[in-house]
Structure 1
Amino acid sequence: RVKRLASTNLSDYYCKSLGYLGGALKLTPNTDTILAESARAAADFNREKVLSQLGNEIKSALG
């Protein structure tokens, strides 16, 4: 279900992060890559959130 959510919300970094984590349930040679991609997607999600908040604060400050 998480992979379906990630596949239908392509621009949502949070869903992307969760989608990657589903592949890390078993240790395989790709586990390190999967975890790294998940961490990058989570960081992208946070970056977008912070940029939106900063934009709103600047807009509010400038009136």
Structure 2
Amino acid sequence: MIVYAMQNETVDALAYRVFGKTKGVVEIIYQDNPMLCELPAMLPMGTLVNVPESVPEPQKKQVNLWD
């Protein structure tokens, strides 16, 4: 899915705007868009960013107290 950066928006702000969270999403966005590393932290307005359609939920480690 293609998303355009808004004025004074960072990658993590864009991730939060699209997905409502940043954990695990920002890393995927940087992997899919290596050219973002060359841009300033505040993305230029209208920068084209390829984001995934959906992001998998992180798996929580379960601890068994009796093992």
- What TM-score do the two structures reach when normalised by structure 2? 0.28
Q: Which has the higher contact order (CA 8 A, sep 6+)?
A: 2
- What TM-score do the two structures reach when normalised by structure 1? 0.29
Q: Which has the larger helix fraction?
A: 1
